Structures are given as structure tokens and as C-alpha cells.
Amino acid sequence: MGLDIDRYATIKSPIQEWDARYKIAGITTWSLMISSIQTLPMAMFALLAAASLLAVARLPLDFIWKGTRWVLFFLLPFLVIMPLSYPNGTELHFLGIPFAPAGFRLALLVVIKAVAIVMSAYGIFATCRFDVAMIALQHLKCPRVLVQMLIFTYRYIFVFVGELERRETAMKARGFVATTDAATLRILGNFVGTLLVRSFERTERIYKAMLSKGYQGEYHTMTEFRATTGDPTKLALAVAATLVLFLLDHYAGFAQAELGWY
Amino acid sequence: MHISDGILPVSITVAGFAIAAAATALTIRNVDPEEIPKISVITSAFFVASLVHFPVGPSSVHLILNGLAGIVLGKRAFAAILLGIVLQAYLFGHGGLSVIGVNTVMMGTGALCAYAIWLTRRRVKLPEHLSFGGRQFRIPSRDVLFGAIAGAVGIFVSGIILSLALISTGEAFFTNAKLILGIHIPLMLIEGAVSGACVGFLMRVKPSVLCDYQPGDGLVPSKH
């Protein structure tokens, strides 16, 4: 299971070496701007920029594909449903069914934007160790309690994935085959129950272990951030790209999405 | 079911972040340091449990379990949902970065509604058997029934909020909103059944896992 999204965090590249605090601030601003785009050319520009970011980060193509394919899988039905259900402009027909080019354009815009945002987000998640990213979030004023819980949750996901795999093997060894029936629902409910019981019993031991190591409600880390002149420069570039995207999207005269947004 | 990036306008995504931040702050207020590992570990158990798939014909659906999270964690479930949504977006690119707020509001509200339903169970007394047509039918215990209803309502509320978010986005998304709401009906039945079964298991094995636990709660295991 590909939970180690930060496996390429040690590659030598300007993106991996970018201070995590500046990187999160810059790429998050860029990603949020992508979500506001209403023109196809700018969506394509954002997608190309995101692809360039990942190329500079030297992330493998199959890794990027594994991350973006689920977005495509969930959004591809939009390319069929929206042109056929679009309220206006159904002057074309496809196999006898009214088809609205504006609806297809809107669906394409949604798909391209979603892929561009996921790819841009990989510029943070895949180029930075998870714990470093979390501490960077804390430096960016994310509440400490939430950051602590994120780190603990991430840590124990791996434990429970191992638990899940062992239990699935045990169930198969006892002849369990999942089918679409009530017995499977009951067994899955019991299965979830055993995970919860084991997690609940673990929490008391975990808390005592943490207390014995001096835990007093604060998470201490050896991660230190030392920004160089290149870090704010890269942030400035990200902000400039965001502004260019905004200005071209609104004032370059490209056709805006119709009836997609009020 | 989550909403993806690229669909909602900025106004709704910003509102989503604002509401999620406010609701998280309210529900996580005065959290005890001892609760932090508990919430985190149970959240990770739910995260992994949501990777379990239930076969539906040639395909399968993965469990969401936001209603069950509400029954186990109570009001803290909202923060747990936020953690789960962030980690899903982070680790799998599933859901979306710009819509973390909206997805959290969607699933978290479902969890809180499930919690509210769970709390009302003590006011209801159910018979052990139901007579119909001259036959007696054994009905599930009150806790199992309320667990099932809470699990189903968690999904129903999430579906309503998701559909409303799509409808408020624009006319072009009306059909998608109706289709998504329709898909949530079988999901409700599946989640309700799994949640009910899980609650039945927990009431027999370790009822203290569930929130609003009182000594004396629990089901006696049936003798076979």
C-alpha cells in the first residue's frame, strides 16, 4: 500500500531543497488560485505549470500517475453527464441525444483543474518528509493540537494497515469470501469492531508510554528550519505565477465558463 | 463520498474552510492531553477501516463510517473527520486540497448527527419480539438499531450537504447533484448495516468503546 508518499523527499532538486514553510505557503496559494479559474486556456496553463513543477522535482511519472488516476476516475463521468444534462445550448446531437458543447467545456475545465491541483499538491507532499511538513504547518500557525493528532494518526495508520492485512489473511484462511449479502455486512461490521477494540486498548498503553517519556501535552521535535535567500525567492516566484494566472484568467479576454458558477 | 477539486467556486470553498475551522475549534475545545492519542489512534483505525470494500455486483464500495465515528468519538468525531480528510488528500490525492473544508463539513456534520441520534437511544424502549401475522420475529436490540440508524443518517446527511454544495454551485451541476443523492441511498443501507453489526459486536465485547457508555451497558453474548 503506497502510504509512503514522501519516498522521493531526499532527491536533490530545487523543490526538495525549498524550505517546507515557504513551499507550503507558496504552493497552497497557487493551488487555491487554480480552483478559482474559469477559462480553459488558463486551466491548461496551470496544468503545464504543475507538470513543470513536478519535472523540476524529478518525481517519476508512474508515481505521479498513481496519484492522479483516482481523480480522473472519479471525474470522467462528468464528461458524459454534463454535456447531456446542460440546461442550454443543446444544438448538437450525439447518437440522437442532445449534446451541449458548453457543458463538455465546463466538464473539461473541472477535470483539468482537479488534475492540476492534485499535481501541484504533490509538489508539497511528495517532496517533503511528512513530519517536516507537519512541523512546518505548525510554524504557519496551524493549531498545535491538530498537528500533534495528525502526526500520531499518520504513525498508527501503518500499524493498523498491518493489522488489517493480517486479519484479512485470517478471514480468508477460514474460508471467508466477500459477497453481496447480509452475512458479509455482519462480518465486516464485526471486523471493524475488532479493529476498534484493539485500537481502544492500545490507546491507554500508548498514553502511559508517552508519559514515561516525559510527554506533557507538547510534541517536541529535532526538526529545525533554516531558510536561505533562495527560499523567499521561490515563494515570490510562486506568488507571481499565481497573480499572472489570476490576471490572465480575468482580463485576457478568454471565454468564461457559463452557468457553471453563479 | 467526497467532492473533488475544481468543481466548487471559491466562495463555497472559503466558506467550507471557515465553517470547518469554527466547528473543529468548538468540538476540540478543552481537549485533555490524554484524549489526544485516543482520538488519533481511533482515527487511524477508522482511516484503515474505510479501506475495506464491500462487493456490489462486479464492483465494490469502500466504507466511510462517519456515522460510526460519531458513535465512538462523540463530538470529537468532527476533528477526527478533519484528520481523516487531510490524510486522504495527503496520502492518496483523494478528495482534494481546496475542498478539505467542504469535505470536512460534509462528513463531520454527518458524524455529529449520528452522535445526536445515538444519545437519544436511552429514551426508547423496544420489545424483544414483534408479532406479525401470527408469527414472532426477534428484533435487534435498541443499541444495534440505533447504531444502524446513526450509521445510515451519517451518510444521508453527508449526501444532502454534498448535493446542496453542487446545487449552489450552478445549474449545470443539478443532474450530478441528483445522481449523487441517488447513489447515497444504497450507501446508507450498507453503512447502516455495517454500523449496526459493529455496534452489536462492541456491545457484547467492549461497550466502553462507544461514547455515552454507562456501567451496565452491554449485551449478553448469545449462547449457541
Considering the domain architecture, whether residues A112 and A74 belong to the same structural domain is answered as yes
Cα–Cα dist B15/B101, whole Å:
8
Asked if A63 reaches chain B (Cβ–Cβ under 8 Å), the answer is no
Q: How far is A116 from chain B (nearest CA, A)?
A: 9
Range of the domain at A169: 144-212
Considering the domain architecture, whether residues A157 and A32 belong to the same structural domain is answered as no
Q: How far is B154 from chain A (nearest CA, A)?
A: 16
Which CATH number goes with the domain that contains B139?
A: 1.10.1760.20
The 10 Å CB-count burial string (b at 16+, else e) for A156-167 is bbebbbebbeeb
Considering the domain architecture, whether residues A102 and A159 belong to the same structural domain is answered as no
- Whole-number mean pLDDT of chain A? 87
- Contact assignment for A164 to B172 by CB distance below 8 Å: no
Considering the domain architecture, whether residues A185 and A242 belong to the same structural domain is answered as no
Considering the domain architecture, whether residues A96 and A63 belong to the same structural domain is answered as yes
Considering the domain architecture, whether residues A155 and A67 belong to the same structural domain is answered as no
Examine residue A174 and state whether it is found in any structural domain, yes or no: yes
Examine residue A102 and state whether it is found in any structural domain, yes or no: yes
Tell me how many domains chain A contains: 2
Q: Which residue of A47, A200, A204 to mutate against B (max B Cβ within 10 Å)?
A: A200
Examine residue B112 and state whether it is found in any structural domain, yes or no: yes
For residue B27, pLDDT over 80 is answered with yes
Considering the domain architecture, whether residues A115 and A237 belong to the same structural domain is answered as yes
Cell 462480518 -> residue: A187
Enumerate residues 6+ apart whose C-beta is below 8 A from A184.
Answer: A178, B54, B55
For residue A188, the chain B residues in CB contact (below 8 A) are 52, 54, 63, 194, 197
Range of the domain at B144: 10-209
- Contact assignment for B63 to A188 by CB distance below 8 Å: yes
Note the pLDDT tens digit of each residue in B158-206. 999 999 988 888 777 888 888 888 888 999 999 999 999 999 999 999 9
Considering the domain architecture, whether residues A47 and A77 belong to the same structural domain is answered as yes
Q: CB-based burial of residue A70 (10 Å sphere; 0-12 exposed, 13-18 middle, 19+ buried)? A: middle
Note the pLDDT tens digit of each residue in B48-101. 888 888 887 777 778 889 999 999 999 999 999 999 999 988 888 776 888 999
Examine residue B46 and state whether it is found in any structural domain, yes or no: yes
Task: Give the pLDDT confidence score for residue B221 in this predicted structure.
Answer: 52
Q: What is the mean pLDDT of residues A145-149?
A: 91
Q: Residue A125: how many CB atoms within 10 A of its CB?
A: 21
Examine residue B217 and state whether it is found in any structural domain, yes or no: no
Examine residue B218 and state whether it is found in any structural domain, yes or no: no
Rounded to the nearest angstrom, the gap between the alpha carbon of residue A105 and the centroid of all alpha carbons in its chain is 24
Considering the domain architecture, whether residues A150 and A197 belong to the same structural domain is answered as yes
Cα–Cα dist A138/A146, whole Å:
9
**Which residue, B91, B93, B99, B48, is CA-closest to B69?**
B48
- Contact assignment for B97 to A68 by CB distance below 8 Å: no
What are B222's strand-pairing partners? Answer: none
Examine residue B107 and state whether it is found in any structural domain, yes or no: yes
With cut-offs at 50, 70 and 90, classify the pLDDT of residue B223.
very low
Q: How far is A227 from chain B (nearest CA, A)?
A: 24
Lowest model confidence (mean pLDDT) among A10-14, A137-141, A162-166, A211-215: A211-215
The radius of gyration of chain B's CA atoms, rounded to the nearest angstrom, is: 18
Considering the domain architecture, whether residues A180 and A154 belong to the same structural domain is answered as yes
